[in-house]
Structure 1
Amino acid sequence: MEINNVSSEIIKPSSPTPQHLKTHKLSVLDQVAGDSLFPIILFYPQTCSNNTSLNKTSDLLKRSLSQTLTLYHPFAGRLKDEFSIDCDDTGAIFIEARAAASDMSEIVKQPTVDMLEQLMPYKLNEKPSVAVNLAAKVTYFEHCGGMALCVCFSHVIADITTAANFIKTWVTFASGSDTSSEDDDVIKHAVFGCSSIFPPQNFSSFSRNVISENHSKSAEILTKRFIFEGDKIAALKEKMGSESSSGYHPTRVEAVSAIILGGIMSVEKQADDFNHSHLVASIAVNLRNRVNPPIPEQSIGNIVQAGIAKWFTISAWCRRPLYEADFGWGKPVWVSTVMKHKDVAVLLDSSDGKGIEAWVALPKKDMAKFEQDSGILRYASIDTSLI
């Protein structure tokens, strides 16, 4: 697949950031999140038919992105130090690319990390020449008329809830919706400082080193997509509920997470140096509605916390309105991400809203064992065609 970048621009906020909002203070949860960019990729079919429509689409995306950055001003700023973002309106990066001879269905049917990485503004291990908190890339598939929009968010100031709300606001401006009515709550609470609730600490170098180490070893990591279809998840939930002494039926995410962790446990038990104390996992939990008083759902930052110390991490992106992201040319047919972090799983909704796609990254030597776990074989499939 050959993709060529045709333009790159800096998109600034449509209105200057007020002086009293020029500094965005980081919370301790932001500090330990790491400074990597995490991508969300939205795939749209038959959006453009000629160069004129391509240009109009790009202009609409850039104009509405500029409006969105006015509300989410830290994303147009730069990391000042370990404690704050300088909201100086430097801007975000927007790249336009063309895939003249490729069909989007090639990616959607059987995606690979290498394919998806080409849709990103930067490769996963590549440091941008200009440090940014947000970068976007739109790729037009001229052969089929499809389009992929990849938005990369800095983990320093964004978790998946922040990212989903940013895209929702971007869609609101692009579609010309009245932002003063039904979307007023999104606009009102677009930026909400949490440093007073989770005060910053002076240990920031810890997380930076951990993230850098994971990226430096990415060549040894294999990432694969496992599909848990809705009917199998329903059967799994029923089975778990019937076997529970309390009669508790798990959620979709809980059920799939249990199968994944069971597979990880199986891999670990086959290791020569197996030790029960090594079987430690974490599942990121959204704290916005779990603190008193609750934090607005639209507030930005890393307002998540792992339940216990990290060894294998599961991040659930389910039940976010990513499949509702209609910029004016219809909803996406597929939403994905791409990663090379070690010992991580990211869970996303399938396009029908019933199943779950799990992107799992493991050392190559462990992936073959993980794929043969009985739970994975029973409830998941690999590289299932989506369209």
Structure 2
Amino acid sequence: MMIVNLLRSARRQLHTIISHETIKPSSPTPSHLHTYNLSELDLLNPKAYIPLLLFYPNNPNCTLTTHQKSTVLKKSLSQSLTQHYPFAGRLFTPTTPSYIDCNDQGVVFVEARNDSQLDTFQHMTGQDETLGQLFADGVVHYMPPSITNVVRVQVNHFSCGGLGVALSMSHLVGDACSLGSFLSHWASVARYGSSDHRQVLPMKPHFIHYPRSESIRAPAPNGDRDINQIRIFGVRRFVFRNSKLSELKNKVVFEAGGSINNPTRVEVLTSMLYTTAVKAAATKSGTFKPSYLFFMVNMRDKFVEKLPQTTIGNFVSLMMVPTRHTSDTSISSVVAEIKKQKLEFEGIQSVQQLAENTKSSKVRNQDLENIGEGSYYCSSLCGFPYSKLDFGWGKPMGTTLATKSTGKNGFVLMDKADGDGIEALVMLEEEHMKIFENDKEMLSYCQSDSI
């Protein structure tokens, strides 16, 4: 048993690993499915993990003991892996993997006991290194060359009786929608006790099988660079309630003079965060510089024949919104451009077409990687089922990505666990962050206890 002593806020916390095992599929993967080729879209992604944390309070209405909860999680994970068979395999090589060996080696499953309260961790941002102890073997974001696991899980038992479920999934096998689909299936199997239950069957994963090709590898910009060369930016958490987002939507519609109809919460919030960050950079430098918003779009419903949301893989495309003049820095102008570009994504004929469009977009924009502070990246996880994942003891009281700054300006948006609003993790250069977090307009829409 490994014991790790950690000091935080001048108080000693004891974090104890109590078990470290591997959960294998409940049924072996058929021989004809032993090789799962990654698609061209998958190979455009960096070798990184998507690190998700789910926090569950001690539910007085749940009669299960800590041991029984762990047993439920392990058994249901084993059942779920039978259908999500690539998740129990291994990436063929850690350097340039082109397929997953679906060998049923299983998912790393760690249990830990922590003497702190659940809420000690709930509102931490990714920059707080103590979050790393909640993940299996401390793996939070970047994939060390020695690790070829597709999925890693750690269940943390807090002194208050609450649970913290930390799961990392390789970005090469799927996007945030894929992760949400897998977790929904796993939680439903745990809740209903069987993968064949009528409530679970609609969540069955959908896989598209691709031919092997060694020539499609296209490294994602900056995805594999040495983490020691990355400047660490500031990370802050801001909360925007639905009532305030409705006010912001009304303002955008009014300012656009009726040319914008029904803007979404994500569109208006992304636009406000971006324009506020651009203004903060201009204030710091004393001059406006052209800037660019890069926004990831879920493409499953953009195909002529729509893909099920349970389709596993990377089905996203990168939208670029330019801000070349100060006149383009109004929230309404950015919302209008986002809506315009979303319409251009409609009517995708095939995965091959989407891959070609994505690769050509990366080629056109690769010089923008050198802009540095002039590029802002936004990823929205809103609408995915993370806040509804019930393994049998209620929905999580909090969900977050352990998003560590990668030396890029950006925003990650997630639904609030209670459904009332959006939580934004903002990553900016510290000098710009000091200006950003004191912006009066942004703060007027922000919950007062954001950090």
TM-score (norm 1): 0.88
2:426 is the alignment partner of 1:346: no
Q: Tell me, in whole angstroms, the C-alpha distance in 2 between the residues paired with 1:214 and 1:361.
A: 19
Partner of 1:227: 239
Q: Deviations over 1:214-253 (max 9, x none)?
A: 7434562221111112211110011111122314231010
2:266 is the alignment partner of 1:250: no
Partner of 2:335: none
Q: Tell me, in whole angstroms, the C-alpha distance in 2 between the residues paired with 1:45 and 1:259.
A: 33
Partner of 1:313: 377
Q: Mapping of 1:295-306 within 5 angstroms?
A: 295-306=307-318
Shift of 1:271: 5.7
2:102 is the alignment partner of 1:87: yes
Q: Tell me, in whole angstroms, the C-alpha distance in 1 between the residues paired with 2:118 and 2:97.
A: 40
8 Å CA contact 1:48, 1:146 repeated in 2:
no
Partner of 1:157: 173
**Which aligned runs of 4 or more in structure 1 are off by greater than 6 angstroms?**
none
Q: Tell me, in whole angstroms, the C-alpha distance in 1 between the residues paired with 2:85 and 2:24.
A: 9
SS at match of 2:14: coil
Residue among 181, 190, 195 paired with 1:174: 190
Q: Mapping of 1:2-41 within 5 angstroms?
A: 2-41=14-53
Q: Tell me, in whole angstroms, the C-alpha distance in 2 between the residues paired with 1:146 and 1:337.
A: 18
Q: Deviations over 1:286-319 (max 9, x none)?
A: 1111011111210111111111347321111111
Q: Whose radius of gyration is greater, 1 or 2?
A: 2
Q: Deviations over 1:46-102 (max 9, x none)?
A: 1599xx9222211111111111111111111111254211111111111100012x1
8 Å CA contact 1:31, 1:200 repeated in 2:
no
Q: Tell me, in whole angstroms, the C-alpha distance in 2 between the residues paired with 1:195 and 1:29.
A: 11
Q: Tell me, in whole angstroms, the C-alpha distance in 2 between the residues paired with 1:268 and 1:354.
A: 30
Q: Tell me, in whole angstroms, the C-alpha distance in 2 between the residues paired with 1:202 and 1:382.
A: 48
2:306 is the alignment partner of 1:240: no
Partner of 2:119: 105
TM-score (norm 2): 0.76
Distance 1:112 1:155, change over 3 A: closer
Distance 1:123 1:332, change over 3 A: same
Distance 1:244 1:195, change over 3 A: farther
Q: Tell me, in whole angstroms, the C-alpha distance in 1 between the residues paired with 2:214 and 2:243.
A: 44
8 Å CA contact 1:29, 1:305 repeated in 2:
no
| Structure 2, unaligned runs of 5 or more | 1-12, 321-364, 369-374
Residue among 374, 379, 383 paired with 2:445: 379
Q: Tell me, in whole angstroms, the C-alpha distance in 2 between the residues paired with 1:91 and 1:247.
A: 49
Distance 1:22 1:375, change over 3 A: farther
Identical pairs, percent: 31
SS at match of 1:137: strand
SS at match of 1:182: coil
Q: Tell me, in whole angstroms, the C-alpha distance in 1 between the residues paired with 2:110 and 2:441.
A: 41
Q: Tell me, in whole angstroms, the C-alpha distance in 1 between the residues paired with 2:431 and 2:388.
A: 38
CA RMSD of aligned residues (A): 2.7
Distance 1:109 1:152, change over 3 A: closer
Distance 1:357 1:260, change over 3 A: same
Q: Tell me, in whole angstroms, the C-alpha distance in 2 between the residues paired with 1:94 and 1:201.
A: 34
Partner of 2:74: 62
8 Å CA contact 1:36, 1:154 repeated in 2:
yes
Q: Mapping of 1:128-277 within 5 angstroms?
A: 129-142=146-159, 144-177=160-193, 179-187=196-204, 190-193=205-208, 195=210, 202-204=216-218, 206-207=219-220, 210-213=222-225, 215-217=227-229, 220-245=232-257, 246-270=259-283, 272=285, 276-277=289-290
2:426 is the alignment partner of 1:356: no
8 Å CA contact 2:284, 2:432 repeated in 1:
no
Shift of 1:175: 1.3
| Structure 1, unaligned runs of 5 or more | none
8 Å CA contact 1:28, 1:201 repeated in 2:
no
Q: Which amino acid is 2:216 matched to?
A: N
Distance 1:117 1:181, change over 3 A: same
2:114 is the alignment partner of 1:75: no
Distance 1:216 1:344, change over 3 A: farther
Q: Deviations over 1:345-366 (max 9, x none)?
A: 1100112313110011223233
Q: Which amino acid is 2:417 matched to?
A: S
SS at match of 1:3: strand
SS at match of 2:22: strand
Distance 1:45 1:347, change over 3 A: same
Distance 1:343 1:214, change over 3 A: farther
8 Å CA contact 2:125, 2:235 repeated in 1:
no
